[in-house]
Amino acid sequence: MDSLSRRKLLGGCAAGLLAGLAGCSADAAMFVEAVETPTAVGRKATDGPEREPRDSDRAELVAAAVNGGTNRSDSYGPPYQPDRPVVHNDTVYTLSWSEATRDTSRTEHEIVLTVHDDDRATDAEFADLPAVDRERVDPRMVETAVRRVEDTDEEFPVDYGARFYWPPAEREASALVPEPQYDTIEIAGQPVELSVEPTTVSLDVYRYTATERASSVAAFGRKLRRDHRFELSGLSKPEREFFDRVRSEGSFYKGSFDDVPDGAFKGLADHFVAEPAIFVENTTGEWLTRYDGTDYWVEIDFVLLDEYADRLHAVESL
């Protein structure tokens, strides 16, 4: 997965929402999901195109890595950095990457949107742009520029700049690069002037390879059950009531706004950090546990609870 996982991002957003309502921040977040089949276990423990079907670049990268390896270039680091095995055609692989000894370059384009707030004529609407342009120039860019004026002393016209890459084939279909076909476009209800400047960007080259880990997602799930599942037992009554609540609701955010006895969360957390997590990333651990005859995938992010985050430790190997 990316350096900031999708689960952590969603958890952070939810915690932030609660914090905004309560005027405080979440100290920790806990997510519990029943995983009743080996396939369900394997899905939680893998990443890949099957989980992000619209990400064609990622799908192509994984497929190429499986079929003998592939090189990818990027100016911001490895373009895909999963934190767990990946899935391709239901087979589970470990994806590895390393920086190659060479680098390369490509032409990217700096796009500056000058947002006006008047009734000047426009040459086109956003919907008139080819798909390759709409995928990059997002109306939210204009909306952000408008909010800057609304929230600060800044006045119209206001600029919003970003840099994008159009591969050669998409460049031929573009109405914006290498030269914009329109001077002014209506975007998000605003007249917007566009300026475009090409720039040469140096890129690092990364070599991706894949090693098979399991013949199927279900087989990988069975291995995790066999090697890394632990029985959640010996809970006190408050701990059991708390876990029953979280497994029913799916999530829990700990903070001054919650209505759970402090000892219930901390006591349950002690049970988890005493066990090696299947995955550890920063302050977050993920475990496979069995409770009352059902398997659960449990994720706990000890956002502000260093005494627990410092005790996180991962399994030696998957």
pLDDT for res 3: 32
Please report, for residues 161, 180, 241, 266, 296, the alpha-carbon distance to residue 260 in angstroms, rounded to integers and kept in the order given. Answer: 47, 58, 10, 10, 21
Q: What percent of the chain has pLDDT over 90?
A: 83
**pLDDT, mean of residues 311-317:** 97
**Mutual angle of helices 237-249 and 262-273, in 10-degree steps:** 80
pLDDT for res 291: 98
The mean predicted confidence, pLDDT, of the chain is: 91
pLDDT for res 76: 84
**pLDDT, mean of residues 62-67:** 96
**pLDDT, mean of residues 252-266:** 92
Give the up-direction half-sphere exposure of residue 121: CA atoms within 13 A in the CB hemisphere: 2
Task: Kindly tell me if the per-residue pLDDT of 10 is higher than 60.
Answer: no
Write out pLDDT tens, residues 153-201.
999 999 999 999 999 999 999 999 999 999 999 999 999 999 999 999 9
Write out pLDDT tens, residues 266-309.
999 999 999 999 999 999 999 999 999 999 999 999 999 999 99
The model's confidence at residue 51, banded by pLDDT at 50, 70 and 90, is low
Query: Left, alpha or beta for 308 (phi > 0: left; psi -120 to 50: alpha)?
Result: alpha
Asked if residue 61 lies in contact with residue 21, where contact means CB atoms within 8 angstroms, the answer is no
pLDDT for res 14: 45
Amino acid at 110: E
Task: Kindly tell me if the per-residue pLDDT of 128 is higher than 50.
Answer: yes
pLDDT for res 108: 95
Q: Taking the domains of the chain in order of start, what are their residue ranges?
A: 1-46+216-318, 105-203
